[in-house]
Amino acid sequence: MRIKISNPLCPIKLFLVAVIIASSAGCAKFTKYEYVSHVFPLDDGNELVISTFASGYPNIKSRISFLYKELYAPQSVYFQFFVREAGVTGGRNPNIESILVRNFSYEFPGQASVVLIQDYPDGFWQQGQRDYDSENLEPVPCVDGWHVRVKFDLVLNGRAFKGEHILYAREVSKVYPLIFDALR
């Protein structure tokens, strides 16, 4: 006895199932570079966080359609300077009555210091962002294994604070299903 398949959609359904399986089986790898952030305790209610973020959008290095995509952010970063409420990761800091960042700078070993901000009257600043960085400072090179020394001098609520710390560079990679990339 022969069974006759009379449903013309059967091959289309099989094709769609194959496409869904292939796209969900594919993955994307995103690699960025950063200097490890550091938190400086200032007083009972405030802390300073110095961190970095990628200086541009990632570029595709390699791609196999529906199976694999590899993205790399530029090997340079922008700095972020944030006096925040102690233990709180974001939002407005209610503990700042007055602030003046006298100086925030970085330096590579054996090189001159680069001043990022000077006489700045706010507790939040981002390099490379028009609202904060009127100087349009160049991105900071960031290569896995390097390090940079950051220094700050600020007056917060009438008290002076100074500090410095070495931040180490690292490469950070994240792998995620390629279907997430298609849904953006």
Read off the tokens for 124: 């939040």
pLDDT of residue 113: 95
Residue 130 has pLDDT above 90, yes or no: no
Q: How far is Cα 184 from Cα 174, in angstroms, rounded to an integer?
A: 17
Q: Half-sphere exposure (CA, 13 Å, Cβ side) for 47?
A: 14
Q: At 122, is the pLDDT very low, low, confident or very high (cuts 50, 70, 90)?
A: very high
pLDDT of residue 137: 87
Buried b (16+ CB within 10 A) or exposed e, 160-181: ebeeeeebebeeeeeeeebeee
CA dist 129 → 9, 136, 137, 140 (Å): 53, 8, 10, 14
pLDDT digit string (tens) for 17-40?
666 665 556 788 999 999 999 999
pLDDT digit string (tens) for 66-114?
678 898 999 999 999 999 999 898 888 999 999 999 999 999 999 999 9
- Map out the domains of the chain with their CATH numbers: 31-183 (2.60.40)
pLDDT of residue 19: 61
Instruction: Locate all alpha helices (DSSP H) within the chain, ordered by sequence.
Output: 10-25, 178-183
CA dist 29 → 55, 98, 141, 174 (Å): 18, 44, 22, 6
Residue 47 has pLDDT above 60, yes or no: yes
pLDDT of residue 13: 76
Q: At 168, is the pLDDT very low, low, confident or very high (cuts 50, 70, 90)?
A: very high
pLDDT of residue 34: 96
